[in-house]
Amino acid sequence: MSEPPENPRPPDGDPTGPRSEPAPEAPPSSERPPPYQGTYGSQPGAAPPPPAAGYGRPGPPQYGQPLPKAPPLPGYGAPGGPQDGPAGRLARLGAGILDSVILSIAAVPAALISIRWDKMQESIESGEPVTDPLDLYNIPVLLVGYAVVFVLGFAYFTVLHAKFGQTLGKKAFGIRVVKASDQSAVTWGQAFGRQAFVYAITIVTVVLNFLTPAAGILGLVGLIDNAWILWDERRQALHDKVAGTVVMKASPWTPNPYARTPAPHQANGPGPQ
């Protein structure tokens, strides 16, 4: 019996026969094109879309990051806002009128006790008019009475400005005296000097008016002192410039430099009994 031939060639179309091995792949070329740089789904040659916010690009803060602080609104802690600025001229005028009315109440008794009621009665009974109005007053008593009123007025403005920055008139109109440098509470020296300048103008004017009526022109100095707020940028009167003060709005949301901080034992409550 003869042996079968080695590696017999299958007939054409016979799938059961041995298959030939595929040809080896060609070695890779050194001129391979670069990898695709675009975005999947985009048109070839189109620029890649910008990265989303929070992924390498400024945008809204992501979770876990602190939110940025918003700037303060004008008038709520921002100097120069519409509700945090120099006091209005009408507010200062109203406060001055109200303070004058309060002090005039103390001046009325001083004027009443200095009137010479006997001279007035004598003029009424005789029918002869009084030629000199000063004859109806006891001048020494009148001067003493007005000296007392002067001291009370000086103490009224000085003490209230130094302790609270507000007289009753300023409190009613929502304005406050503070330092012009940093808007803090004024010192006793500033409060004293501020009022001393105002009263010095008044005293000099009154004394010179007794000497000669022509000296009444000095009364214009007092008018200029108060009228200076009409054209001053910070609405300071002359006595404000002398003392280094300025009158500001005392809005409820602005800090009060005159507020008294409670003592540590008061802030933490009463101690153990």
What is the distance of C-alpha 249 from the center of its chain? Answer: 8
In a domain? residue 125: yes
On the question of pLDDT at 164 being above 70, the answer is: yes
Residue 145 is predicted with a pLDDT of 83
Say how many domains are in the chain.
1
pLDDT band of 148, cuts 50, 70, 90 = confident
- C-alpha separations of 133 from 12, 81, 174, 254, 270 in Å: 154, 54, 42, 52, 65
Residue 5 is predicted with a pLDDT of 55
Measured CA to CA, the distance from residue 68 to residue 141 in angstroms comes to: 70
Measured CA to CA, the distance from residue 121 to residue 119 in angstroms comes to: 5
In a domain? residue 35: no
In the chain, DSSP finds a helix count (H) and a strand count (E) of: 8, 2
DSSP state of 178: E
| 143 close to 156: Cβ distance less than 8 angstroms | no
End-to-end CA distance of the chain: 128
Beta bridge partners, 82, equal none
Q: How many CB atoms lie within 10 A of CB 155?
A: 11
- Reading the block at residue 151, the tokens are 């001291």
List alpha helices for the chain, DSSP H: 89-113, 117-126, 139-163, 168-173, 188-211, 219-227, 238-243, 264-267
SS3 222: helix
Q: What percent of the chain is predicted at pLDDT more than 90? A: 27
pLDDT band of 73, cuts 50, 70, 90 = very low
In a domain? residue 74: no
In a domain? residue 190: yes
In a domain? residue 272: no
Measured CA to CA, the distance from residue 259 to residue 178 in angstroms comes to: 13
Question: Which of 44-53, 114-123, 209-218 is least confident?
Answer: 44-53
Residue 271 is predicted with a pLDDT of 52
Mean pLDDT confidence for 138-146 = 82
In a domain? residue 10: no
DSSP state of 137: B
In a domain? residue 202: yes
| 205 close to 219: Cβ distance less than 8 angstroms | yes
Mean pLDDT confidence for 216-243 = 83
Domain, as residue range, for 189: 89-251
In a domain? residue 13: no
Residue 203 is predicted with a pLDDT of 82
Residue 166 is predicted with a pLDDT of 95
Residue 241 is predicted with a pLDDT of 93
Q: pTM of the full predicted structure?
A: 0.60
On the question of pLDDT at 244 being above 50, the answer is: yes
Measured CA to CA, the distance from residue 98 to residue 168 in angstroms comes to: 8
Does an H or E element contain 177, and which? Answer: strand 175-179
pLDDT band of 30, cuts 50, 70, 90 = low
Task: Give the pLDDT confidence of 76-128 residue by residue, as tens digits.
Answer: 444 444 446 888 889 999 999 999 999 988 888 877 887 777 777 777 777 77
On the question of pLDDT at 66 being above 70, the answer is: no
Task: Choose between 61 and 172: higher pLDDT.
Answer: 172
Residue 92 is predicted with a pLDDT of 93
Burial of 24 (0-12, 13-18, 19+ CB in 10 A): exposed
